[in-house]
A and B are shown apart, each in its own frame.
Chain A
């Protein structure tokens, strides 16, 4: 969405000419023949030849165009989507000439892979895929994945500062309904009460781009792809022979900073790649040290917990004639330090230590021109340990507590194997059968012994293009699950219609499901005032989802391009898992498939690109269902929240610099809770979570061939907390303040890149 090609064709041209009142009839009388090609000599279809005075000519499919008369002084411009515009002059005396356009880095056609068999242009995909491209990520110089996503429309994060993590919401649905993929492979290791993948446990330095698909993709990706899919695409080694990259970045955390260690945020990363014959080797190491943020806390405690992360990646790839294979190993080691409050006798500190080993094997076999096979397999070993450390203030002794429950570990292992075949029946029809095997086991403190979850699925989708402008992609998935009742057949239907060369309409219906997690099935917790158990009899939550989008792009003139995407969605979730009283023992709280939930919304996104300025403005209006409406008729069924975001990018070419401004307004979020009125009767009361404005500004400059410098300010508006009007109980007072940020922070980063 942030990078989109600007297409041009006769319609827009006519439209523009007409709107500028400069339309004049061109008499067809061929005198000059030209051809527009790439640097490799391939034809560029539909390039536009600008003759001044807003007159123009459009090249055909083969890049050929003809001019009936010579432009003024023989000078004109040629532009095409994805290429840099050139000013050319017709060589005197020639009637035929070839013009070469260089590929533009800024307007590169966005390529997406999510949901498709092989990389394809975003325009061609039947899914409306939002992409956060590599250029945006480079300009932003982020330190976490959350920073990239948090200014996206429809994405909200809420900080869980007790754990040093955060929870995500996508289009009104909680993060456990979002499938997080790395290069199409599902992440393993849900954590915390929110039961989410911690998206910040991914090495930011390895991310090439992020693709977001809204709406269920359960046919292809199975469980939990209910609200949508976030597919994190890692960097491919694009060097000819040798590549080397090093990055150092220093950030303040609010006003707290000390160089290279302690206070502040310190990032270091080194990546190398080597390619020889069909082989491709790579390795990277990254280290992030976040010093935490004290905020209002005094003494030993932090509002934002300090965190150390180490990432290691190694990969080896082999490309043969018809087969390519790649193995990658990712290792994460993370320690979050929760320093306990000062005390007169015993100080208790906690450390949350995560280690994750992820092995991935992916490949493709192009067996025949009309048949290919891809596979992606992964094995993940995830372990999260909580340790309690005691410091005796009077003796100064520090030791690990041996008290019951003071230390605990949760283990997850996950295996997944997805294999998809692609069979081109003819030009109009492709057939894609697939299998998807997933097994997950979880064990550890408070998780009841269990057999794990085995999920086996087959799916089938076809892509039928009866006429070139129409694509219809129906899909079906059937799965078998060992732990819970898997939903029956999961259908989906995605369609894309090119109403016009400039205008694409996508309509989709899909069935989605979210599997009950190991925590929901088997987690038990008992103490003085809590008796909480998992429910091994849960079934999956299922949803019906409809979404549609209209994608329009135009070029007003050589310099000004516009794209617009209007999207609407409606999700209807049944059998939502929620806590309730166990009918057999009402003292016990457990989980049931009881609730109903719904979201709906509209999003509008517009990008204007004028010369070196790109401006993106988005608006969303998202409604969330109020559960209380079922008991309290005065509660509206849906609560609506607006969001506005803007990205401005300005390239200062003489300085080889880019300035980028990211802005998002997250509107207030209304909700309802039950309170007692003066007579002691329960009544619904509106609670409001305040909205807030977020702004980052970044500056990037390239020096020489290899070096670039990033500097900027994050959270320019100095947001720290937002307030909620929720009362809460004495025992569970959530606190009226919710953390959002740690205040205005500054960063300076250095990237060195060598490609040979």
Chain B
């Protein structure tokens, strides 16, 4: 993999030299996409504390602690807010619009029903989380209405899945022009704080942490293609669909223009996959779980359980926002035997614009 590293660097230098010597044209530098690479994902180790965003063409990864944020405000034309599925956060609508009026009654009711606690006994859990495949399509917090009186208060668990449990919060979100105003407080508090959020078109979301305000989490929306994380998805138990927390989920950037599709080795072997195979594929751009956890097997449960493995029967084709088509296959769940440090390799199949 090292031998390819010089390529973008030299290309970059060449480009810089070329551009600066011949013209004053302010056009951005065109960096050719990486031809191939191997990424050892910095997931943080056995407790997989990070979400890791990867740009294939730049061969770059950005690791962000999963618990560093609480709410993600959509920058699109809609007014939608996501909770932090990467810590297993859950939210429940109250009937009230006055945030100070929400307190012990609602907490007691939610504690009694267990609806904000993820687990095999929570039969309504799936209704208390964002849609794992396409969260904006079905967020647990209803789209923020222009009518303030329609925006109810939500009781929020900040997530206790492979994350330190923190006291519940209550939130209410209303519009403010083209942005949002967040009202938030501890669930049992009688006062609240507010925070205004302005949309930023370069990003998919603006991220907010209750303690520190607006935080950097996701790279700019065209600067990543796939993200490795632990996060909420679903499982079926005894015929019921339950919210279930997974490690080793891989999302592709459906809101930033990335699409992906899985290919089986038996259909076309990875080594033989080339640009002629691309037109036969139906790329998926509305389900970020196309890769999901389909690339690995884990036995689950306390030890002893079967050794987790990466399937060698499946790989993925990822088309980035520039139209570069990569084939991606996962190599390992571990680094030196430690979980939470997976690796994958990829190759450019077809360069984009």
Contact = CB atoms under 8 A, between A and B. Distances in A.
Contacts of A388: 337
Nearest to A192: B304
A732 interface: yes
Contact of B309 (A340, A675, A730): A340
A169 interface: no
B332 interface: yes
B339 interface: yes
Nearest to A401: B337
Interface string A392-423: 00000001011111100000000000000000
Interface stretch (A240-248, A275-283, A522-530, A553-561): A522-530
Given A162-B305, A390-B336, A405 B46 contact: yes
A332 interface: no
Nearest to A682: B238
A348 B334 contact: yes
A628 to B, nearest CB: 11
A532 B302 contact: yes
A529 B238 contact: no
Interface in B34-63: 45-46, 48
Contacts of B310: 343-344
**Considering residues B235, B238, B245, B306, which has the most beta carbons from chain A within 10 angstroms of its beta carbon?**
B238
A673 interface: yes
Interface string B61-104: 00000000000000000000000000000000000000000000
B301 A732 contact: yes
Given A345-B331, A586-B119, A680-B240, A525 B302 contact: yes
A587 interface: yes
B244 A529 contact: yes
Majority secondary structure of chain B interface residues (helix, strand, loop or mixed): loop
Interface residues of B, number: 47
Contact of B331 (A344, A586, A673): A344
A163 B304 contact: yes
A340 B46 contact: no
B337 A343 contact: no
Interface in A315-355: 338, 340-346, 348, 350
B235 A343 contact: no
B237 A346 contact: no
Given A404-B46, A675-B238, A731-B237, A346 B301 contact: no
A550 to B, nearest CB: 44
Nearest to B114: A586
Nearest to A161: B306
Contacts of B46: 403-405
Contacts of A675: 238-239
Contact of A528 (B48, B236, B336): B48
Chain A residues touching B, range:
35 or more
Contact of A401 (B114, B119, B240, B338): B338
A346 B332 contact: yes
Contact of A342 (B300, B301, B312, B343): B312
Nearest to B40: A345
B144 to A, nearest CB: 30
A338 B308 CA distance: 12
Contacts of B245: 528-529
A348 B339 CA distance: 11
A731 B244 contact: yes
A676 interface: yes
Contacts of B107: none
A581 interface: yes
Contact of A348 (B300, B337, B343): B337
B312 A731 contact: no
B117 A403 contact: no
Contacts of A729: 120, 235-238
Contacts of A732: 237, 300-301
A127 to B, nearest CB: 36
B299 interface: yes
A305 B340 CA distance: 27
Contacts of A633: none
Interface in B237-265: 237-240, 244-247
20 contacts: A340-B309, A341-B309, A343-B309, A344-B329, A344-B331, A346-B331, A346-B332, A346-B336, A388-B337, A401-B337, A528-B48, A529-B245, A581-B121, A586-B114, A587-B160, A676-B240, A682-B238, A729-B238, A731-B244, A731-B300
Interface of B: 45-46, 48, 114, 117-121, 160-162, 165, 230, 235-240, 244-247, 299-307, 309-310, 312, 329, 331-332, 334-339, 343, 345
Given A403-B339, A529-B300, A682-B238, 9 more contacts: A344-B331, A390-B337, A403-B336, A404-B46, A528-B48, A581-B121, A587-B165, A675-B238, A729-B238
Query: Lowest 6 CB-CB distances: which A-B pairs, in order?
Result: A401-B337, A676-B239, A403-B338, A729-B237, A345-B331, A345-B332
